[in-house]
Amino acid sequence: MKPLTVADVLSIADYERIRSRLRPVFIMEKNRRRLALGEHLTFLFENGSTLWYQIHEILRTEKIAERSAVEHEVETYNSILPGPQELSATLLIQYADPAERDAALRKLIGLERHLWMVVGGQRHAARFDEGQISPEQISAVQFIRFPVGKIEAQEFLELANAGKVAIELDHPKVQERGSIKGELASALADDLREE
């Protein structure tokens, strides 16, 4: 996928003028790119459009307008874009109770060695941002890449629709499996076409 540049970013004022029309479109796009894994783990698969929206939302919320700060945000979000033959996702580990969340984040130490994307009969290990993991606990937001090997978008879609594409977690404390199908499979196949 083509990295975003500062030239792709609207001013806060320009974004504010069109936000009410764009917001429902991007919420719908994010919803079709979402996969729940059990009760507390949600994957939001990212592409250039979702990251463009996220950059604008953070700039608006934080009132960031200085060019160097905007460049920093663009650079940060570009690091999440999937590269060739991979998919990327933001993993949100969500608990309503902060104490329960903190306990779960300590319990999930080692998560980076137990998360897989299964495509056909092959398991592909997730690659985590090591800066979000420590020996004491992991972060509630993780940026993950799933290398999927040399698979064509159409083959990926066919395998997904046959129930042969999934995210698996085989952590000693938590085991979950979530199938990738339907709209999510179509969105991810489109991502693979954009390489």
**In total, how many domains does the chain have?**
1
For position 48, what pLDDT does the model report? 92
Residue 1 belongs to some domain of the structure? no
Residue 102 belongs to some domain of the structure? yes
Weakly modelled stretches of the chain, pLDDT under 50:
none
For position 98, what pLDDT does the model report? 94
SS3 of the chain: CCCCCHHHCCCHHHHHHHHHHHHHHHHHHHHHCEEEECCCEEEEECCHHHHHHHHHHHHHHHCCCCHHHHHHHHHHHHCCCCCCCEEEEEEEECCCCHHHHHHHHHHCCCHHHCEEEEECCEEEECEECHHHECCCCECCEEEEEEECCCCCHHHHHHHHHCCCEEEEEECCCCEEEEECCHHHHHHHHHHHHCC
Residue 51 belongs to some domain of the structure? yes
For position 73, what pLDDT does the model report? 95
For position 147, what pLDDT does the model report? 95
For position 31, what pLDDT does the model report? 95
For position 68, what pLDDT does the model report? 96
Where in the sequence is the domain holding 13, given as residue range(s)? 6-193
